[in-house]
A and B are shown apart, each in its own frame.
Chain A
Amino acid sequence: MTAFNPHGTSLNHGILSVLVQNRPGVLARVASLFARRGYNIFSLAVAPAEDETQSRITIVVDLESAPLEQMVKQLFKLVDVVKISELDPRRSIERELLLATVRADTGQRSEIVELVKIFEAKILAVGSDAVTVSLEGHPDKLDDFEELLDSYAIVEMQRTGRVALPKLDRAARLRAVNPNQKGKVS
């Protein structure tokens, strides 16, 4: 058994990118479906999609709680769900943002600054005995950063939960870097 990781960065997570109609209550429908069927969610991020009548929900699910296939099929029974993509972690780009306020008296501050440098994180605010830092990146990287920060007493921390999109294939990547060669990337 792998140790419980609240951010779902263990190998047992699945990522669903769910396009829904932007209607009142749609998030509640998704959440109550997961609760009712006993599916565990590690994180959930939601915001309007490219088409404003729709939202995209990125859900990181615990594959030990139920098979991904059942989750997808049950989700699809929600009338407001338009499209579901299963994102294979190996073939998708995942990002997350972490904000943390860490206790830092003068002695420790330089160590934390060092850590921030190594991780290419940012210092957002400095107080007399604490600093607030942010890090954006792959959730695994955030995990490492969080673990190291932990030895300096984290006062408050918030992670956003991951968002993800499929990686572009090579051809699409080339098209994307050449703005003159417009093509529909799907």
Chain B
Amino acid sequence: MSTASTRMTGAQALIKALEMEQVDTIFGLPGGCILPAYDPLLESSIRHVLVRHEQGAGHMAEGYAHVTGRPGVAMVTSGPAATNLVTPLMDAYMDSIPMVGITGQVGTSAIGSDAFQECDTVGITRSCTKHNELVMTPDDIPLAVRQAFHLATTGRPGPVLLDLPKDVLQNEMTWHWPTDDEVSSALPGYRPTMKGHPRMIKEAAQMILAAERPVLYVGGGMLKARAAEILRELAEMTGINVVTTLMARGVFPDDHELCLGMPGMHGTIAATTAMQRADLLIALGARFDDRITGRLDSFAPDAKIIHVDIDPAEQGKVRRPDVPIVGDCRLVTEEIVQAIRDLTASGTEQADITAWKSRVSGWQEIFPLAYDEASPGAGLKPQYCLEELRAASNDDTILVSGVGQHQMWASLHWKFNQPYSWVNSGGLGTMGFSIPAAIGAKAGRPDATVWAVDGDGCFQMTAQELVTATVERIPVKVALLNNSYLGMVRQWQEMFYDERYSEVYLSTETPDYVKWAESMGCVGIRVESPEEVGPAIEQANSINDRSVVVEFRTDSEEKVFPMVPAGVSNDEVLVHPSQEQFRAQLG
């Protein structure tokens, strides 16, 4: 407890405020303007992880937030460091990740003069943050920090950035920690709606009981709202199938008989088709992304929509809901469950959905995930590598993915049975996400085994953070699915540009990933034949004192199926060639 008259510098106030917010880890890299903040850090209980590139700091903060639910913090200097943070901020904005970015800024009197390493950070990050603020006096720092954490973690979570001029950090202020009331009166327009509208809740419950072909369409908002338990209750009490979007993998167990897996562009046939044929979609914390809906005017044509989301702007943004419910996904789902109980207690019966469910399980049986076996001497099948890795892992293992084919295979072929065991870049699709995000995840959950699944293209964007992992002793494991290509782009060129390959070949020889891994203090293992897959994974799992990179040499020509080509109706989904003969059964 500090007395009201404690004097300190703005920098000390910043670090103290971060401590008050229970920050235990900051990912960052110092430089001129943020220098004052790094001095009091020496006396702080907060751990600082020194990154090799500021983009890494941002993605680490995201990975940390994904798995802990607490806001990740990245602190960097002005100018180029602030612009290096832009990609992670946008990534966090798209995926609603709670994150606080702190940037240094040139002194207040130099702002606007094109001073050394000056940039308009607040201007640049305006459209990729939930809120940002240039703090102009040290006295405002505690309130700005409290507000930033409040905004980042409440309502629809997201990134908040504080821009701190050097003199604001250096000058003295009188410490004052704002009360809840002070925070809320400083934000008179910010009052997220938490509870659902009772009439809408009742209407939703009635619709759920009356539906003959209902599907629970579950998005990342359910993870943000920590609603896994109540989701399971809702699904089990009604027997309704669940699809989990790319951002929601793990919120409902893949092993559950009601789970249909991921829907959309690369979704399972059962998940995508069930949504197409449904008469009711119960959208919980999902946003009807174009990767889910395919061509919008033919998406789920017969479905009524119940849309639960804490962000009112999501209601009707893409598809007009029949029952819009603004509120916290966990609270609203609880309310819906209660309303269903009340209705059934007073005699309302649920419609018979058995015929529908046997249609759905028919799709599951006819169209399982499929891939051809590797031909002898050819590259490994990436799906096989992932299945072997999954078999050697437990449900607690955290899987962190890059962006590309490997991401889709990871999401499809991994069985997620626990919430917060999947970390990926969904909305922005940021190549290079996985290595730093995995390090952030491991920093937040040191008890868990963290595997990054990465592509060779992605790896080359941010691999240097493995140096950070080594030096900071945050060991992660990397399954590098090396197909020598920007595989996802190659797939599109093969399928939609007549196999005219333009600038997608990386190299089969360079870099030498084993040597590169070793030079960064990691163990490097190369796997070229199916027999080596299991033993390599076993070896990697037995090493816990340092990071491991397992390079799987995979088949360059392997493609992700199923696939709905961009802009096409989900009805036209391309199934794996071996299943083409069953197409008629999709109806």
Residue ranges of A at the interface with B (Cβ–Cβ < 8 Å)? 20-21, 24-25, 28-29, 32-33, 36, 67, 69-70, 73-74, 76-83
User: Interface readout for B29-54 with A: 1 if CB under 8 Å, 0 if not?
Assistant: 00000000000000000000000000
Q: Choose among B127, B130, B311, B312 the residue that contacts A79 (Cβ–Cβ < 8 A).
A: B130
Q: Choose among B126, B134, B187, B188 the residue that contacts A29 (Cβ–Cβ < 8 A).
A: B126
Nearest B residue to A83 via CB reads B189
Q: Is the CB of B199 closer than 8 A to any CB of chain A?
A: no
CA distance A73 to B324 in the complex (A): 14
Interface positions of B from 123 to 151, Cβ below 8 Å from A: 123, 126-127, 130-131, 134, 151
User: Interface readout for B102-141 with A: 1 if CB under 8 Å, 0 if not?
Assistant: 0000000000000000000011001100110010000000
Decide if B187 touches A79 in the complex (CB within 8 Å). yes
Q: Is the CB of B268 closer than 8 A to any CB of chain A?
A: no
Q: Choose among B123, B126, B313 the residue that contacts A77 (Cβ–Cβ < 8 A).
A: B313
B279 CB to nearest A CB, Å: 26
Nearest A residue to B187 via CB reads A79
Q: Is the CB of B190 closer than 8 A to any CB of chain A?
A: yes
Decide if A36 touches B311 in the complex (CB within 8 Å). no
CA distance A33 to B232 in the complex (A): 38
B584 CB to nearest A CB, Å: 40
Q: List 9 A-B contacts (CB under 8 A).
A: A24-B134, A25-B126, A28-B126, A70-B316, A73-B313, A76-B313, A78-B189, A82-B188, A83-B189
CA distance A29 to B134 in the complex (A): 13
- Among A21, A69, A77, the most chain B Cβ lie within 10 Å of the Cβ of A77
Interface positions of B from 421 to 448, Cβ below 8 Å from A: none
B158 CB to nearest A CB, Å: 10
Decide if A70 touches B313 in the complex (CB within 8 Å). yes
Residues of A with C-beta under 8 A to B312: 73, 76
CA distance A163 to B431 in the complex (A): 47
Residue ranges of B at the interface with A (Cβ–Cβ < 8 Å)? 122-123, 126-127, 130-131, 134, 151, 187-190, 311-313, 315-317
CA distance A73 to B181 in the complex (A): 25
Residues of B with C-beta under 8 A to A82: 188-189
Residues of A with C-beta under 8 A to B315: 73
CA distance A77 to B189 in the complex (A): 9
Residues of A with C-beta under 8 A to B189: 20-21, 76, 78-83
CA distance A29 to B316 in the complex (A): 23
Q: Choose among B127, B188, B190 the residue that contacts A32 (Cβ–Cβ < 8 A).
A: B127
Decide if B122 touches A36 in the complex (CB within 8 Å). no
A108 CB to nearest B CB, Å: 47
Decide if B126 touches A32 in the complex (CB within 8 Å). yes
B224 CB to nearest A CB, Å: 16
Nearest A residue to B314 via CB reads A73
The answer to whether residues A70 and B317 also contact, given A79-B130, A83-B189 and a CB cut-off of 8 A, is yes
Nearest B residue to A75 via CB reads B313
CA distance A28 to B413 in the complex (A): 45
**Besides the known contacts A32-B126, A73-B313, 14 further A-B residue pairs in the complex with CB atoms under 8 A apart:** A24-B134, A29-B126, A33-B127, A36-B127, A70-B313, A73-B312, A73-B315, A77-B313, A78-B189, A79-B131, A79-B187, A81-B189, A82-B188, A83-B189
B241 CB to nearest A CB, Å: 30
CA distance A159 to B316 in the complex (A): 35
B159 CB to nearest A CB, Å: 13
Residues of B with C-beta under 8 A to A21: 188-189
CA distance A36 to B90 in the complex (A): 14
CA distance A169 to B315 in the complex (A): 32
The answer to whether residues A25 and B188 also contact, given A70-B317, A73-B313, A79-B151 and a CB cut-off of 8 A, is no
CA distance A82 to B64 in the complex (A): 32
CA distance A69 to B316 in the complex (A): 9
A69 CB to nearest B CB, Å: 7
Residues of A with C-beta under 8 A to B187: 79
CA distance A81 to B131 in the complex (A): 12
Decide if A25 touches B313 in the complex (CB within 8 Å). no
Residues of B with C-beta under 8 A to A73: 312-313, 315
CA distance A81 to B134 in the complex (A): 17
Residues of B with C-beta under 8 A to A76: 189, 312-313
Q: Choose among B123, B151, B313, B316 the residue that contacts A28 (Cβ–Cβ < 8 A).
A: B123
6 nearest CB pairs, A to B: A73-B313, A82-B189, A79-B131, A73-B312, A81-B189, A82-B188
Residues of B with C-beta under 8 A to A79: 130-131, 151, 187, 189-190
